[in-house]
Structure 1
C-alpha cells in the first residue's frame, strides 16, 4: 500500500494536547485542579491498541478516496486543457482560446467523407441545388460536420475553391439552395463537406444543369397594376405583351443602370461604360463622326473618325491617345490615315494635326519613309529609288547589279605588254567604267604598268607589262552608269 503520509498519531486522535504548567494560571497561584481518573473498559483499551484495526480503517479510507470523483471540485483558472489522440496529435482545446475567448475548439479533425452528388434542377434565372444529407459509398455522417459548401463551376473538371464557395448548406440533414446564373449555358454543381476543424472533404461528382429562361406563364394576368407604373412613363397608344410596335422614344436617356457597368443612349451619343470606368462610345453628330475608346480616368481618348473633302468621301483616320514628349514637352498622337488612294502613318501634333517626326507614305506608284524634320529619307518611285541622309552606312555587304569585281592571273612575256580577256558578265547600265590594280610589291620597278581595254557589260581586257615572266594577280572592278 506504500507509505501513508500525513496521518495523525493515535494518541493525538484521542488525547487533547497538554498545556504547559508555566502557561496555566494555577502555575502562579500554586493551585492545582483535582485529577480525575476514568476507568477504561478492557475491550475499549484493547481496540485502541489494536494496530490491525487501525490499518483496516486506513485502508477503507484510501479506497474511499480512490473511488471518489477526481475533478468534482476542480476548475481551470485562466487556462486551457488540450486534448490529444492516441498518436499525440492535438484534437481540441477546452477553456481559454488564443484570441481571449473561452470555449471548445476542434483542431486537426479527420477529413470528412465526400458528400453524395447533388440533385440539380433549372429554375427561372438560376438552378436549385439539393443535398440529401448522405455521403458517397454510404459513409456515415461525421459528428463534427458543420456545413456543406456548394460550388457552381463553368466546367465539369474545374476544381472548387474552398475559400470561395458559391453558397453553403448549414443543415446536416440536407437542404436545397437556389443559385442565380447570369447566362443560359451549362453549369456544373459540386459539393464539399467542411468539419468544425475547417478541414474540407474531396469534392463530389459534378452534376450539369442550366438556368431556365422566362416563359409566358411566368407573368400572369394582372401582375402589373396601374399604380405600379409611374405617370408618363409609358406614352403609347397600344402596348403588346412582347413589344412596343410602331412607336419612337424621343427626348429621353436610356441606360441599363444608374452607375457601374452600363450602356447609355441619348439623342447625341451611345456609350458603353465598363467596371473600371473606361468607356467605348459613338459620336455620330461630330463634324467628323467617330468611335472612341477612353482611358480609365476619362482624360484621354483614342478614336477612329471618318473624313473627306466631299459628302461622298469616307476616309478613315485611326488616332492614338495623346502623349507628352519629354524632350520638348510637346503633346502628340500617332495617326494612321487611309485617304484618296494613299496611306500614311505619322506622328502629329495633338493640336492642328501637323506631322512632326517619323512618317510613312504609300501612294499608287511611290513610297516614302522619313525620319523627321532634317533627318534622312528613302523614296521609291516607279523605276527609281533614292536615299537621302547626312550619312549612309551599310551594316553588311553592299551589293549592286551595276557593279562587278574580281581578280585575274596573267603570266606575262618579259618586257612586253601581255593581256587577258574576261567575258560572260551581265552588268547593268549603259556606260561602263573599269578599274584595275596589280597585286605586287615592286610597282614601277618590275611591274611597269597595267591597263584595260574593251570595257563593256560582259567584261574587259586587262594588260600587264613587267620586266620578267612572273605570274601577276590583277584586281579589277567594272561599274555601270546610266
Structure 2
C-alpha cells in the first residue's frame, strides 16, 4: 500500500482496507471517484473540497479488489482500492481521454493563449486551466487526434530552452498549472542527498538512507536529424549539432559521430529545427540516475516531485566543479538534479477520504490498514534528460505515395454451380467463381494487395425460355417479342469482397435458371483500385430439386364424387411443411391400392402454394367419379419449375349415401323439411306467416306486425332507420332502461338502478298535471329515502328547477327546499317548506324591479329590499348595517362655557372615509347649550365636544357613517 508519484506521468496508488469495512462504504466507492490523502487528521464532512488543495496526494479510483488473502478463515478479507494520479484526466497510459477530434490550430500564439486553446473554459474537458505563467516566444502548431496530455507536453517541450525549462502539473482540484519550472517547482534546492552525512544545516536538509547511482552513455548523440511533416521527397527536416564539440574519440582518435534520427510527422516545418535541438539536448551528456531509499518517509516537507535537489557522491562521479555550496562546515560540489519519482507509504497520521462524483465525501481513515514500514524511495535524474522527455514516433522509411495500380484479374470459365433449398424451403442457386491474380498495370508484382471486389447483376440481354402455360397467365398485348415474351428483370449491381489470398468466391441466393453478368477488380492496401474486368455472363443452375413426398390425403366418398383433403404435410410427418416453391397437387384415382400414377389416373390438379401453408389452409378438391366400389387416391406435389415428387401412400374411400359434405350445388323446386341447416340462404322473401302477428324479411328490410296487422317494427335496409311502436326495454330486471313504459300520451324514458324499484325518468310535461297535450319536457330523479326528488321542467311558457315531493292527497308536486321558476314576466328563487305559500328566503326579479328578502310564516318579521328602475331603494323591516353606528353618551362640562369632550371607541364601522354627526338632547339650545361638535371620526369611533353655560349633565346622540 503505497503512493507512486511520477513527473508528468500517471503514477499509481493503492489503499488497503480492513476486512470489517461496511458493505455500504465499499459500494459507495465508485469508479473514477477521487481519493485524497491528507497529512494530519481532518474531518472530510467539515472541510469538503478544501481537502483537494490541502492533500499531499489526490488520485483517481480505477480498481477495486475484493478477495481472500489466504491467511485467515474469514472470507473476502483482502480489500483494497487503487488507481492513478490526476494527470489521467489529461490522457491515460493508452492515450485515451478527451481526444481532439476537431483540429486545434495555434498560429504565432503565446504560451498562455496556446494552453487556453488546448483547455478551453467550455467545460468539455475534465481539467481546467489554473495558473499559466508567461514563457518567452510564440508557438505555431496543429493538434488533432491526440489527448491534451500529449499536446500540452509537446507545447511545453517545444517552448523549453536549456536555461528556461517549461513544464506542467495537474493539481488536486483538477486545475492545470503550466510555465517555467522556476514557477512550478523549487529550482533552488533546499535538500541535499549525500552519502556523507544526514541532518539539518541552516536552510539545507540532508536525507539519510541508501543510495543507488547509475550513469551511462547509451543514448549519447552528437547530432540529431528530425523528420517533420511531409512524405517522400517532400519531408521537412531539421538538424542540430552538439556544442561544444564532443570530448570523446573513436579508435582512430577522431571525434565520434553518433547521429540520431527522430521522426515527428505532426511537427510543422517552422518547428523542425527547434524540435531537433530539443531532442539533441536529451542526449548530449551522460545519463545520471539516482535512487534514494530513506526511512525519513515524510520527504514531502523537503521536496516534491519536480523540485531540484543537490546530489553529492564523489565516489560515483556525481560532482559538478562549477557549483560550490557549504554544508555543515564543508565546501562540497554537488550536481543539481530533478526529482522525477517518489514512492512513499501511507502510515498512521494521514487522513484518507473519498470524494464521489456528486461532490459528497466519505471518511475512510477508520477503515484503512496503514503501513508500518515508513521507507520512501526517491528517484532523481539528469536535469536536461528528464526535463525534455519528448515523445517521438518510430523512424520509418517515409516512402513516396503508392501510385501503382493493380491490373485486371482474369475470370476462369466455366463456373461451377448447383441448386439448393434455402431456410424457407425455396429453391435457390449458387455458383463458384475462380480467377487468376493480376500484376500491377506497370507489370510489377502486386506486393500490397488487399482484396478483390466482385459485382454481379441480372443479365438483361439473355433469351429466357417461356412455356405456353406461363404465357397463358398474361394478355397477348402485354407480351414483349415472340422470342422473349417476358421482359428481363433489371437490377442494380450487387457487390461482394474476397480476401487477397483467395482466388475463388461463391455467389449465393441466385434465381435458378436466370442469367447473370459478373465483373471483378483488384484493390491494394493503399486504396488503389484496378479497372473492372470485362462482363462475363453465366446462367444459374435450374431448379432440379423435386418437392418432398406428400403425406396421404384424407378422402370422403359418395355415389357421385370423391372429396380429397390434404394438409400439405410431408410423408415423414407434420402438416403445412412442404417446400415453399410448391405450385399444385396432382390427384390420381384408381381401383388398385398400389397403382402407379400416370396420365390415365390423373383426375385433377389443385393449387397449393406457400401462402396456403403460411395461413394453414388445407387443400380441398372434389373429383367427379360415379362409381360405388372402393377407390384409391394418391397425390403428387409439383413445384413452380415442374419438378414432381414421388406419389403419396394411397388413401381409400367407398361410396356412401350423399350426405351434406358431398352436396356442393342443389337445384330443386320444393323442399319440405323440419330443419334446414345452412351457412347462407338466398331468397326473395322470408316470413313467419302471411297474416296476423308475424315477422318478415325482404329486400326493404325487416318488419314486424301485431295481431291486427299493424306494423310495429320496421328496419329499413336502404338507410338503416328503425321504427318501433310500443314499449322498448333493455332488460327485465336490475339496471335497465324502458322507453314508453305506459300507454299514456306523454312519452317517457325510465332509468332503473341495479336494485330496487325507484327510477329516474325523462318525460313530456304539461302544466295541468294530466296527460292530455304535451307542451314541454320534464327530467326527474328517483326519490330519496325522505321522498324528496329533483326535477327540471320546461314548457313553452315556464322553466322550473328544484326539490319536490308528491302529496298523497292530490298527487301534485310540492316544493320542498330550493326552488327556481322563470317565465316571461320574471324569475323567482326561494326556499319552500312544503307549499307554495310557505317559504323563507326569496329573490324576485322583473323587467322594472328586483326584490330580495325573507318571507317566513311569521309575517311580523318579514323584511326585504326593493330596487326600482327609477333609482330608488326601498327597505322593509328593521335596518342594520356595518357601515354605520348610532348611540349616545352623557357629558358633564368641566366648567361653564368651557368645551368638554368625550371619546367613543370600539364601534368597528366599515368604510374608507368616515363622517360623524352629534345632537344634544336639550330644551334650551342656543341659550344654555351653546355648541356641540365632533372630531376625529374613524372606524373605531369619534370624539364629541360640548359647550354650555353651566355644568349640567347633557345627553348627546351621535351618528357615525363609513363611506367608500
- State the TM bucket, normalised to the shorter chain: 0.3 to 0.5
For normalisation by structure 2, the TM-score amounts to 0.17
